[in-house]
Amino acid sequence: MSENQNLLAEQRRALILDEVRRRGGVRVNELTRKLGVSDMTVRRDLDALARQGVLEKVHGGAVPVVEASTHEPGFEAKSGLELTAKEDIARAAAQLVAPGAAIALSGGTTTYALAHQLVDVADLTVVTNSVRVADVFHVAQRTSGPRQGAATVVLTGGVRTPSDSLVGPVADQAIAALHFDVLFLGVHGISLEAGLSTPNLAEAETNRRLVQSARRVVVIADHTKWGVVGLSSFAALHQVDTLVTDRGLPAEARAQVSEQLRRLVVAGEPEDAADS
């Protein structure tokens, strides 16, 4: 079968990972038929995903990695996952931001994608504990030069985590003294029972402070975060105003989310469809 040139490697690997997680394992020959690529291409993709630590290669295929609740992947490992979904989510979430607003962005690869969508929104004040998010605005201003309406960025201090977030007492104290209109929150996991959770205890406390300082909380998370539970919970679902996610979120999960949250936004779908 000829190579499918329509899929970029990152898109193909995202599809493979989703299939592995959804089915609990896949075989190489199944993936070659589904994706329309060669065995060699699939095996290279599996090697790349295995190096990221997101699946385990077995004879003839791959299975999911069973992660401990304390496992915290680094920013680079997470940045290659669900790229299309994150971009879609970021575009949808950016529509919730008004010029002149005071917003906060937590750490994470989805908030990093959102930051890229916000660099041209006028007169924003952006509070963040993410080194990566702060860099997005810094690079944009350095590249375009001084301009009217450029964002004012407040970067909290703190101790850097594997996901390039700043956490700990310094970050917590800085956040506690601030108040912002909307918090855009990336999460490690989200579930009915555990709410929002993370494998990092210090990050859980910093996220808790972010939630307390926000008038409105918007969680931005792709469908793979649903049902994942980290070591420490930092917010219940009823504390979240809006979830912005992607089309991969199953219908049952959508119904459960809609019962707990005021608003569900599925990127690429009209909101009445998301609520149905």
CATH number at residue 41: 1.10.10.10
Global pTM reads: 0.72
**Does the residue 273 lie in any domain?**
no
- Percent of the chain beyond pLDDT 70? 89
pLDDT at 251 over 80: yes
Q: Share the mean pLDDT of the chain.
A: 86
pLDDT at 274: 54
Transcribe 68-113 into DSSP letters: -TT----HHHHHTSSHHHHHHHHHHHHTT--TT-EEEE-SSHHHHH
Do 81 and 202 sit in the same domain of this protein?
A: yes
**Does the residue 103 lie in any domain?**
yes
**Does the residue 125 lie in any domain?**
yes
Do 20 and 110 sit in the same domain of this protein?
A: no
Look up the domain containing 52 and give its range.
9-66
Contact 208, 243 (CB under 8 A): no
**Does the residue 87 lie in any domain?**
yes
pLDDT at 97 over 90: yes
**Does the residue 223 lie in any domain?**
yes
pLDDT at 76: 46
Give me the number of domains the chain comprises. Answer: 2
Q: What is the mean pLDDT of residues 173-194?
A: 94
